[in-house]
Amino acid sequence: MIRLFFIIIMLKISDITKFTLQDYPNHTACIIWFAGCNMRCKFCHNTEFLEQNSNFLSKDYVISFLQKRVGLFDGVVLSGGECTICDSFIDFVKEIKKLGFKVKIDTNGLNFNTIKELVENKLVDFIALDFKAPIDKFTNITQIDKNQYNNFEHTLKYLIKNNNEKNVDLEIRTTIHTKLLQEEDINKMIDILDDLKYSQIYYIQNFRNDNKATLINLGDQVYLVNKEKIKQPKNFTVDYRNFF
């Protein structure tokens, strides 16, 4: 007797934000949240998406939701967790594109091969890349091996090159909690981006103490980053989020 074994590959989608005006610049969109992440950032606000539990939305449900929204909003944001590590992610993105939506992904950049395939096949329109820290503080913040910084850097270089060639829209951003990062760290990252000829806006995002649980209890910041100590880049501009 021949026994056939089938592996069921499941999209680990935890939730949908049904409408947003903030997460895809200049576009109306929804957000699809994927479970699982290959980092464990101390300041992570999305801890509910870190573990790959079994309470997932079915792909049929998600596609049906999107089909009913064709013409009602412009794009779909894929976030998490880390959306690019999900099984069958690229096939899922293809289905979204067939519906006519623009696609934005939020990523930490470690999964280079998936990101490269998305860009080369014109499956992604906008990428928001999280630049967590310079190499000397990378492990302390992400709680993963320092060597993984090389994977991030590979993606960083690739995306800046492709953005400059008009193949994909790109935003690079850093979340700052001043117990973890200080002005000199931001300036190191600005130098890296300048050397790579980054030409878009670099967003410095203030850590929000909004009473939502983070992975590590960091407590309040010692101080807010001093904008006057942040250097002016040569090739791009710096902007600030969540500084009130």
pLDDT band at 244 (very low <50, low <70, confident <90, very high): confident
pLDDT tens, residue by residue, 127-153: 999 999 999 999 999 999 999 999 999
Q: Which two tokens stand for residue 88?
A: 């069958």
Average pLDDT, integer, range 23-29 = 97
In whole angstroms, give the CA distance from residue 203 to residue 128: 10
**Residue 21 to residues 31, 71, 100, Cα–Cα distance (Å):** 10, 15, 18
Whether 35 and 56 have beta carbons less than 8 Å apart is answered as: yes
In whole angstroms, give the CA distance from residue 13 to residue 36: 9
> What backbone phi and psi angles, to 5 degrees, belong to 243?
-105, 115
pTM metric for this prediction: 0.92
Q: Give residue 47's pLDDT.
A: 79
